[in-house]
Amino acid sequence: MDRKKSSKIIKHAALLAVLYLAVSGCAFRGQDGSGQGDAQSATAGSGREQGSDESAGENGAVLRGKGEDNASDAVSGGREADKGETESPAKPGSDFGSPADLGEEAGSPAGLGEEAGSSAGMEEEAGSSAGLGEEAGSPAGLEAEAGLSAGQGEETGLSAVQKSVSTSAVGTDSPKDSGYDFTICFAGDINLDENWGTTQFLDTQENGIYDCISEELVEAMQSADIMCLNNEFTYSTGGSPLPGKAYTFRAKPERVEVLHQLGVDAVTLANNHVYDYGKDALLDTFTVLEEAEIPYFGAGRTLEDAMKPLYLETDGKRVALVGASRAEKNKMTPQATETEPGILRCYDTELYLQAIREGKENADFCIAFVHWGTEYSFDLEQVQRDTGREYLDAGADAVIGAHSHCLQGMEYYDGKPIIYSLGNYWFNEKTLDTMLLQLTFTGTDEDGQLKVQVIPAVQAGYRTTWASEAEEQRRIYDFLESISVNVDISDEGIVSAAEDNGTWSRQQKDAGTEERK
């Protein structure tokens, strides 16, 4: 949701709350029974001045509330679905029980559905603004004072705006666990360097980044409960390019607004370009992201900071994100030390395995985001397969890779996915297949499932566009299957484990890569 619109919705909800209380004559009384007790104050979207759906949680956790009750994992950009076409291509997220467009039967779409009951905007039949569900019977904020905390939207009809509010129970018992359902979306490399083609093209576009990345992809990013990508540059106006480095990337601090526009909730800095302009520029990058309230991981002012998992909370569950890099043959990006800033490296996996274990011990789910592989090669290095399995054995629920600037294959190991590389997302002018990757976690504490879905796209000429045609989607799925170890991908982009397809030999080549049969 656009943050300016979100702020307006919050104001409307607050006004309606006052009107409701005035009309109904209801009042929440303090323990002294006088009616003068202090009411809890919680403002949706207080995590950022722009009005985003987040607020600060304990131990650096971020409480998320993006997307209406997590009912839609991706939305195709507001176009009405053509119900007359039975052969229409799969839309992003269409297999998850909600249409990719803002459909009429979604139940609770991320946008304005006619039958949603409680949309992100003003619902005419419900007679209420954001958060006033038909079944809730009360304005935004009333449920919070009644003791309902964020994340109970399925039971009360709360909207995405209300779900971002974290409150304590007031005079009620804690609700029973009703399960969880949330989506984490990942994108590969982006580049906002001031002298790079992507940024120069961006500056010529009337609608900025929205003319560079298609609306279907932007909607999928914005509607995810957690959106994470690889920040492949530094934010600074200082520093000097590292001597001897062929490509160095630096963006002005104000470019961080692009991340807000795309709905980004977290970035990995564990890559080979965040230190391109040296120590001071790296420190500037930390400050810029912190002031923009965009959490980062995989780098820090000290080694302890660089190793520290990033904890994000959504739908009552805590997710740990842990990043590291082993991308450089000529190691120019330093690992942080006890006194100096840098990234976390994983050439030697000991520290990274320690970070993964820590993340898993302190969270319900742990995702390892790794910068590795050979640039512009679909072939996997043997070390990717070996260490990827180590990361899963250490407790990661999924391994996500980047750096190769092109897609690489996938593998299921012990029932858990390794996505070897997301490729370029919006990085240069080359024509390359790419994707958004959605991990959807559903279930209860006793029984949970992880669904992996590919949203196919193509980067070409400084634009990244959703693959809208069924034939183009299938081509990308087939290609991913052909370079993967043991996955099948359905026409809806759902990734599942398959028998090892023999694409990769079991013999290690002399250069450390695997031989394609």
Tens digits of pLDDT across the chain (517 residues): 444 445 445 544 554 554 455 444 444 433 444 333 333 333 333 333 333 344 344 335 444 446 444 333 333 333 333 333 434 455 565 443 333 333 333 333 333 333 333 333 333 333 333 333 333 333 333 333 333 333 333 333 323 322 332 323 333 344 556 799 999 999 999 999 999 999 999 999 999 999 999 999 999 999 999 999 999 999 999 999 999 999 999 999 999 999 999 999 999 999 999 999 999 999 999 999 999 999 999 999 999 999 999 999 999 999 999 999 999 999 999 999 999 999 999 999 999 999 999 999 999 999 999 999 999 999 999 999 999 999 999 999 999 999 999 999 999 999 999 999 999 999 999 999 999 999 999 999 999 999 999 999 999 999 999 999 999 999 999 999 999 999 999 999 999 999 765 444 333 333 333 333 3
**Which helix (DSSP H) or strand (DSSP E) does residue 198 occupy?**
helix 197-202
Give how far the C-alpha of residue 212 lies from the chain's centroid of Cα atoms, to the nearest Å: 19
The closest of 184, 217, 262 to 452, measured between CA atoms, is: 184
pLDDT value of position 141? 36
The closest of 291, 312, 315 to 363, measured between CA atoms, is: 312
For residue 57, the one-letter residue type is G
Helix (H, G, I), strand (E, B) or coil at 6: helix
Q: Which two tokens stand for residue 349?
A: 């996996």
Q: Which residues contact 485 (CB under 8 A, 6 or more apart)?
A: 385, 409, 410, 411, 412, 500, 501, 503, 504
The closest of 323, 353, 338 to 229, measured between CA atoms, is: 323
Distance CA 270, CA 186 (A): 15
For residue 243, the one-letter residue type is P
CA dihedral defined by 329, 331, 332, 333, rounded to 10 degrees?
Answer: 110
Angle at 500 between CA 498 and CA 505, to 5 degrees: 160
Q: Is the torsion defined by CA of 201, 216, 419, 59 positive or negative?
A: positive
Distance CA 161, CA 405 (A): 36
For residue 37, the one-letter residue type is G
pLDDT value of position 499? 76
Distance CA 219, CA 62 (A): 21
Distance CA 40, CA 440 (A): 33
Distance CA 486, CA 310 (A): 30
Q: Across 405-517, where does the E strand assignment appear?
A: 407-413, 416-422, 424-426, 432-443, 448-460, 463-466, 487-489, 494-497, 504-508, 514-516
Per-residue DSSP letter, 494: E
Q: Count CA atoms closer than 13 A to 114's CA, side-chain side.
A: 5
Rounded to a whole number of angstroms, the distance between the first and last alpha carbons of the chain is 47
pLDDT value of position 135? 37
Distance CA 14, CA 6 (A): 12
Asked if residue 229 lies in contact with residue 192, where contact means CB atoms within 8 angstroms, the answer is no
- Rounded (10°) angle between helices 382-393 and 350-361: 30
Q: Which two tokens stand for residue 167?
A: 């409150």
Angle at 139 between CA 134 and CA 144, to 5 degrees: 110
Distance CA 101, CA 103 (A): 5
Sketch the domain layout of the chain as residue ranges. 1-28+37-80+87-178, 188-516
Distance CA 268, CA 297 (A): 5
Q: Rg (Cα) of the chain, in Å, rounded?
A: 23
Pick the CATH number of 188-516 from 1.10.20, 1.10.490, 3.30.70, 3.60.21: 3.60.21
Q: Which two tokens stand for residue 276?
A: 């391109």
Q: How far is CA 142 from CA 7, 20, 40, in A?
A: 18, 9, 10
For residue 422, the one-letter residue type is L
Q: Which two tokens stand for residue 357?
A: 């274990």
Distance CA 97, CA 21 (A): 36
Residues in the chain: 517
Q: Which two tokens stand for residue 213?
A: 């990345």
